Each structure stands twice: as structure tokens, then as C-alpha cells.
């Protein structure tokens, strides 16, 4: 696609429920990042995918968070047993080759509200 697409745009869920957030990167972009933006905070790195390499999960805040990337394209971030502190905007970004190309294209994010 022309840009990075994220769905849903907004999600309200009850505490304790599981949620799935989707990111569809730009076609051909091998690198994909997930970030979390909590209220009043900057973006916090969550996870990084690059081609077929093992993902860098060093930013995931707890084992309730997981992500996968199928076929080197679409990625899904899953949050299990959601808590109120999980409320945030979750942003996805893709890059053609972050080592050489300094461009990152961001999606418009998913605003998650846990009630």
C-alpha cells in the first residue's frame, strides 16, 4: 500500500480481555517496529522485526505482550489480560532498510482504552 495501515483506529476493551492490533507495512519494507505512546510520554520501543531474523523483543513490558509478523508483511500485536495501564496509542513504523535508509514511515496508530 501507499502507507502504513493500522487497524482498528480505536479500540475500547474491558479489563482482562485480550486484544489484537494490526499493522500492514509498506510493501517491500523489511523492517517493522512497534512503539507505545502513553499519555504525556514519548514513544516507547516495543518490538522490532527484520526480514526472517528473530525479532528484537527487548522492549515488551511484560509477558502479556506478544507480536508476530506473518510472511514478512502484516504484523499483529497481542495484549493478553489487558490492564488499565495498557491504555495508550500503539504506533507501527516500517522501513525499507533502516541501516541505509533513514526513513521510517509511521501509521496513524491504534488508540487502546482499557475500562
Provide the binding-site residues for another protein, judged by CB under 8 A. Answer: 31, 33, 35, 40-45, 48, 50, 56, 59, 89, 91, 93, 95, 98-99, 102-104, 106-109, 111
Shorter beta-carbon distance to another protein: residue 14 or 100: 100
Taking the C-alpha atoms of residue 6 and residue 106, their distance in angstroms, rounded to an integer, is 9
Q: Smallest gap, in angstroms, from Cβ of residue 31 to another protein?
A: 7
Q: Smallest gap, in angstroms, from Cβ of residue 81 to another protein?
A: 26
Q: Which of 35, 48, 47 is nearest to 88 (CA)?
A: 35
Please state whether 74 falls in left (phi above 0), alpha (psi between -120 and 50) or beta: beta
Q: Which residues contact 40 (CB under 8 A, 6 or more apart)?
A: none
Shorter beta-carbon distance to another protein: residue 25 or 109: 109
Q: Smallest gap, in angstroms, from Cβ of residue 28 to another protein?
A: 17
Shorter beta-carbon distance to another protein: residue 14 or 42: 42
Q: Smallest gap, in angstroms, from Cβ of residue 41 to another protein?
A: 6
Shorter beta-carbon distance to another protein: residue 38 or 80: 38
Taking the C-alpha atoms of residue 84 and residue 88, their distance in angstroms, rounded to an integer, is 9
Q: Is 24 helix (H, G, I), strand (E, B) or coil?
A: strand
Amino acid at each position: 500500500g501507499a502507507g502504513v495501515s493500522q487497524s482498528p483506529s480505536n479500540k475500547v476493551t474491558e479489563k482482562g480481555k485480550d486484544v489484537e492490533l494490526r499493522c500492514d507495512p509498506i510493501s517491500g519494507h523489511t523492517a517493522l517496529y512497534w512503539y507505545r505512546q502513553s499519555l504525556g510520554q514519548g514513544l516507547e520501543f516495543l518490538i522490532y522485526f527484520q526480514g526472517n531474523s528473530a525479532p528484537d523483543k527487548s522492549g515488551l513490558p511484560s509477558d502479556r505482550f506478544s507480536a508476530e509478523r506473518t510472511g514478512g508483511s502484516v504484523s499483529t500485536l497481542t495484549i493478553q489480560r489487558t490492564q488499565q495501564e495498557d491504555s495508550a496509542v500503539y504506533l507501527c513504523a516500517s522501513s525499507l532498510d533502516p541501516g541505509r535508509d533513514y526513513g521510517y514511515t509511521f501509521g496513524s496508530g491504534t488508540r487502546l482504552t482499557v475500562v
